[in-house]
Amino acid sequence: MNMRLTAKQSAIVKAPANQKIFLRGMAGSGKTTVGARRVRQLLEMGVPGSEILVLAPHKRLSQPYLQAANEGEVTIASFASLAYRIVQQFWSLIAEQINPNTTDETPIFLNHEMAQYAMSKVVGPEIEQRNYFSSLRLTRARLYTEILDNLSKASTVGFPASQIADRLKTASRPDPEQLHLYDDMQACADLFRRFCLQHNLLDFSLQISFFLDFLWKLDAPRRALTDRYYHIIADNIEEESPAAHRLLLDWLPDTSSALLIYDTNAGYRTILGADEINALTLQDACAQIVTLDDSRVMSPSVALLERELSGAILEETDAPAKKGRHRKADLRTAIAYTADDQQRYHTQMLDWTADSAASLVHAHGVKPGEIVVLAPVLSDSLRFALVNRLEARGIPTYSLRPSRPLHDEPAARALLALAKLAHPQWIFSPVYAVRKADVAGALVSVIEGIDLTRASLLVDILFKGGKLHPFSKLQNEMLRGRITDTFGERYDQLITWLNNSPTDQLPLDMFFEKLASEILSQPGFRFHDNYDEARIVMNLLDSARNFRETVSRFAPELDDGYEYLKMIDDGVLTNQYPPVELDEQPDAVLVAPAYTFLLGNRPVDYQFWVSVDNPAWSRRPLQPLSNPYILSKQWQHGRVWTDADEQATSQQILNRTITGLLRRCRKQVYLGYSQFNESGFEQVGDLRLAVDDVLRRYSDTKQSEAADG
């Protein structure tokens, strides 16, 4: 917000309150800064905050606008939240049309987690009975998620949900098994859709459909928006779906002013239905189109690296970098790496990464918050290895993995295991009963400082009959000495609370809250002053509370606490919680997947790219029941998806990722090579090939210039 504006930026900010402007440009050119300043300018011009609407694809991109609004009445929302609000407010206008037999005018809104749960109830038995997806090895959670994603794309792209399989099949090669899978998927999607309509259950796809196809066409719901918001600022419209673009296109004639912001060469949310090409149709609704060409972030050497790498990835024989190279820029100052023999193995790369980051912080005075460590995929083991190495060198860290299911987090698993121990009245099958390994893992996750060896010893001795017994009654002095009184006392404090807490009187979410506040957040336990653990606990509380409140209407006869734990054991409930805002994080090194960092839209001084050799940098997620590119507005119906399309998509993914990362890097990128992955297998990916090509070409050019000079 303190950036000094250029003349072009200032002209946009200070434009009259009746201007509609389409602003496009590269990441780091100051577009969001302009948008946030425009909000402030409108307020200073006397526009009531209640008449200003800021739209952003997700919450993390709205932080600059929250600061600019300065607690004013400016509405900051997403397209999805607008749809939810209007459907909730005006449902009675269409309730009978949707379901003539309805007796309850209030629908049940399903988040992704609850939509999976509802699908498991209606689709799960059908899968078993009809032997659907028999040739597909996919967890139920992944299967349900792909079906829900397909329904969402139908509603946001704008084609009937009944046509999903047809679109996928006409773009597929004549593989009978694959075509059969699409038919199974369509049957399940149709069944789920009928069930939702019958019971007034609104998943995301139905919320969008009812909003645009029904309520937006009615006078009262439409005027609830158009008669309130006369000034719209929509940021990152390339990350929005065609449905959001359709709303804006229809709404703009009723506004006094608008600022639509488009990030070129982005579109990171394509897999979620974003359509950066369709977003350009909004240019025609604006009187003025402005382009910001210059980066306010990249140094000349980083800018040179960005152009060179883009040319190599796209296999341009005459790359833009060769035409526009700044002779004063030295590409070698933009990157750091070591010889192959020093980073041949995965552990060598990890050690080099941690040592290099420690050198930046301790020897060169770089703030940890100006460093990010990024991977194409951040597994548990990779995150653990990186965080342990960094913290062992005195570097504070935090990590963000929004695509990681909540129940995969050790802190969440610990609370779930403790909940089972505290509720002996809940009888689980042997497959889902609490095991010694679960209890030992829970103790490691909640007791400060205890190691797995001591935790396992405690469990082996004191976990009997499905119940933990007190350490204080252990008579064997040798075993007491191995465990130590310190850990024994903390263990006793925990199990005393579990055994004496009136759990049968508390809903599960309140049990979690009481356990966390009264025990696990106290000194001696790991949730005390631990940012990451506290965030996970709050997300688990939210998940369990939402489950309880929804199930109470959906199936009030069920014991929601028992049902919640059972569905997690079945692998169905996998809600993913977005990380809290990056601007609120402590001064620490961020360890995250590359895409998570990109969606935060935050520049830093130094980036570490680990496992540059990994093919995952250019690989789209495996979706055997879907394809976001085929189910997009840009795909020609009937055209077959070929290997050439797959290759072009891989190039596009890699180019967008690398370009986006470099445009958010001020000074230098550290390239972590690893010829062998963490499993010991040799790997060669497109990013490593592109990097080698750039270094070779740059070296040849420098040698040629030296010879000519």
* DSSP structure string for 398-445: EE--TTS-GGGSHHHHHHHHHHHHH-TTS---TTTSPPHHHHHHHHHH
Average pLDDT over residues 428-437: 83
Residue-level pLDDT at 175? 87
Amino acid occupying residue 358: A
Residue-level pLDDT at 553? 80
Residue-level pLDDT at 314? 92
The answer to whether residues 551 and 608 belong to one domain is: no
> In the structure encoding, which two tokens stand for residue 115, read together?
């939509």
φ/ψ (deg, to 5) at 606:
-130, 135
- Number of structural domains found in the chain: 4
Biggest alpha carbon distance in the chain? 86
Average pLDDT over residues 621-629: 93
- Whole-number average pLDDT of the chain: 90
- Judge whether 324 lies within some domain: no
φ/ψ (deg, to 5) at 475:
-95, -25
Residue-level pLDDT at 48? 95
The answer to whether residues 380 and 435 belong to one domain is: no
**Number of C-beta neighbours around residue 283 at 10 A:** 13
Average pLDDT over residues 566-592: 70
Please give the residue range of the domain that contains residue 16. 7-87+214-292
- Judge whether 240 lies within some domain: yes
Give yes or no for residue 103 having a pLDDT over 80: no
- Judge whether 95 lies within some domain: no
Q: Compute CA 157 distance to the chain's CA centroid, rounded to the nearest angstrom.
A: 21
Residue-level pLDDT at 433? 85
Residue-level pLDDT at 704? 63
Average pLDDT over residues 24-53: 96
Yes or no: say if 456 and 441 are a contact pair by the CB < 8 Å rule: no
Residue-level pLDDT at 703? 61
The answer to whether residues 51 and 128 belong to one domain is: no
Mark which of 569, 590, 611 sits at the end of a domain: 569
pLDDT band at 463 (very low <50, low <70, confident <90, very high): very high
The answer to whether residues 428 and 564 belong to one domain is: yes
Stronger pLDDT, 295 or 500, i.e. the higher one: 295
Residue-level pLDDT at 466? 84
Residue-level pLDDT at 706? 59
In 3D, which of 523, 532, 538, 539 has the Cα closest to residue 447? 523
Residue-level pLDDT at 409? 82
Sign of CA dihedral 15, 17, 21, 24: positive
The answer to whether residues 444 and 560 belong to one domain is: yes
pLDDT band at 246 (very low <50, low <70, confident <90, very high): very high
Yes or no: say if 505 and 428 are a contact pair by the CB < 8 Å rule: no
The answer to whether residues 489 and 421 belong to one domain is: yes
Give 243: exposed, middle or buried? Use CB within 10 Å, 0-12, 13-18, 19+: buried
Mark which of 202, 236, 262 sits at the end of a domain: 202
Give yes or no for residue 574 having a pLDDT over 90: no
Stronger pLDDT, 23 or 580, i.e. the higher one: 23
Summarised one tens digit per residue, pLDDT across range 190-245 is 999 999 998 889 999 999 999 999 999 999 999 999 999 999 999 999 999 999 99
Average pLDDT over residues 49-74: 88
Q: Distance between CA 327 and CA 276 in Å, rounded?
A: 34
Ranking 14-18, 75-79, 330-334, 348-352 by mean pLDDT, the lowest is 330-334
pLDDT band at 386 (very low <50, low <70, confident <90, very high): very high
- Judge whether 536 lies within some domain: yes
Q: Distance between CA 525 and CA 445 in Å, rounded?
A: 9
Give yes or no for residue 328 having a pLDDT over 90: no
Yes or no: say if 35 and 235 are a contact pair by the CB < 8 Å rule: yes
pLDDT band at 325 (very low <50, low <70, confident <90, very high): very low
- Judge whether 547 lies within some domain: yes
pLDDT band at 584 (very low <50, low <70, confident <90, very high): low
Percent of the chain past pLDDT 70, that is, above it, reads: 93
Question: For strand 20-25 and strand 288-292, is the pairing parallel, antiparallel, or unpaired?
Answer: parallel
In 3D, which of 198, 224, 187, 194 has the Cα closest to residue 108? 198
Residue-level pLDDT at 137? 87
Mark which of 539, 569, 599 sits at the end of a domain: 569
Residue-level pLDDT at 525? 92
What is the DSSP-derived secondary structure letter of residue 605?
A: E
Describe the strand order of the beta sheet including 75-77 as a list of residue ranges.
Answer: 75-77, 52-55, 231-234, 257-263, 20-25, 288-292
**Number of C-beta neighbours around residue 359 at 10 A:** 12
Ranking 80-84, 245-249, 264-268 by mean pLDDT, the lowest is 264-268
Summarised one tens digit per residue, pLDDT across range 343-374 is 788 999 999 999 999 999 999 999 999 999 99
Residue-level pLDDT at 611? 94
- Domain of residue 389, CATH code: 3.40.50.300
Q: Distance between CA 501 and CA 549 in Å, rounded?
A: 23
Q: Distance between CA 199 and CA 190 in Å, rounded?
A: 14
Q: 3-state DSSP: the chain helix, strand, coil percent, rounded to 5? A: 55, 10, 35
Residue-level pLDDT at 568? 85
The answer to whether residues 20 and 76 belong to one domain is: yes
Stronger pLDDT, 327 or 556, i.e. the higher one: 556
Q: Distance between CA 543 and CA 69 in Å, rounded?
A: 30
Phi/psi region, residue 71 (left: phi>0; alpha: psi -120 to 50; beta: rest), is left
Residue-level pLDDT at 341? 60
The answer to whether residues 532 and 411 belong to one domain is: yes
Stronger pLDDT, 708 or 513, i.e. the higher one: 513
The answer to whether residues 366 and 444 belong to one domain is: no
Residue-level pLDDT at 571? 76
Residue-level pLDDT at 576? 56
The answer to whether residues 158 and 269 belong to one domain is: no
Give yes or no for residue 155 having a pLDDT over 60: yes
The answer to whether residues 556 and 457 belong to one domain is: yes
Residue-level pLDDT at 556? 84
Stronger pLDDT, 467 or 340, i.e. the higher one: 467
What is the DSSP-derived secondary structure letter of residue 523?
A: T
Q: Distance between CA 406 and CA 393 in Å, rounded?
A: 29
Four-CA torsion 156, 162, 163, 166, nearest 10 degrees: 140
The answer to whether residues 417 and 466 belong to one domain is: yes
φ/ψ (deg, to 5) at 53:
-120, 125
* Complete DSSP assignment for 179-196: HHHHHHHHHHHHHHHHHH
Four-CA torsion 401, 593, 381, 689, nearest 10 degrees: 160
Ranking 39-48, 210-219, 267-276, 320-329 by mean pLDDT, the lowest is 320-329
Q: Distance between CA 332 and CA 3 in Å, rounded?
A: 28
- Judge whether 97 lies within some domain: no
Average pLDDT over residues 484-513: 89
Percent of the chain past pLDDT 90, that is, above it, reads: 67
- Judge whether 99 lies within some domain: no
> In the structure encoding, which two tokens stand for residue 538, read together?
């709050």
Predicted structure pTM score: 0.88
- Judge whether 298 lies within some domain: no
